[in-house]
Amino acid sequence: MERVLNYSVYDCSIIKLSKHHSDRKGNLSVVENNKTIPFGIKRLYYLYDVPGGESRGGHAHKDLYQLIVAASGSFTVTLDDGSVKRTFLLNRPYQGLMVVPGIWRTLDDFSSGAVCMVLASEGYTENDYIRNYDDFMKFKKNDSSNG
Ligand code: TYD
């Protein structure tokens, strides 16, 4: 996918997933490539056993699109585009937070037993990460001058 410049936190939003309910047999939610979400999934990973009080994330991605789902339990995701921050509480398995590229994210307040499932548009590559906040701000400034 071509790099889109100048994404903001307002390009990130909660997507409501389908919830198929069977009487007394529980629920089922579905995510489909390019239908539920505007990208194709190449990778799925999940965070679990995160000790209370720990923080995850603390980085941005240059090109990666992600859908973050609290498959179990709850946690917060704080998004930062360099000028605006938004915090989302994820606590429903039938909701996903779409995070576009160029957004600094921090995950906090994991409940006990929380599972953070991430559906990602690309395979894992360390080159796609921006792990230093000053570098992130420089990246956003270059975005602005190019966009
Ligand atoms: P990282 O993305 O830094 O975790 P978080 O931001 O959630 O705190 O990844 C933690 C470690 O796992 C790091 O050593 C890289 C490795 N990793 C992979 O090997 N493949 C992956 O798909 C991901 C997401 C991480």
pLDDT, mean over the chain: 95
Lowest mean pLDDT among 5-14, 63-72, 93-102, 103-112: 5-14
Please give the distance, rounded to the nearest whole angstrom, from the Cα atom of residue 46 to the centre of ligand 1: 10
Please give the distance, rounded to the nearest whole angstrom, from the Cα atom of residue 20 to the centre of ligand 1: 31
CA angle 40, 71, 25 (to 5 degrees): 110
Q: Which of 19, 71, 20 is nearest to 45 (CA)?
A: 71
pLDDT(7) > 70 = yes
The finding on whether 59 has its CB within 6 A of some atom of ligand 1 is yes
pLDDT(2) > 80 = no
Please give the distance, rounded to the nearest whole angstrom, from the Cα atom of residue 57 to the centre of ligand 1: 9
Q: Which atom belonging to ligand 1 lies closest to the Cα atom of 58? A: 6
The single residue of 20, 21, 59, 61 carrying the catalytic annotation is 59
59 assigned to active site: yes
Mean pLDDT for 110-116 is 98
Give the 3-state secondary structure of residue 64: coil
The finding on whether 56 has its CB within 6 A of some atom of ligand 1 is yes
The finding on whether 57 has its CB within 6 A of some atom of ligand 1 is yes
What pLDDT score does 63 carry?
96
CA angle 121, 122, 126 (to 5 degrees): 135
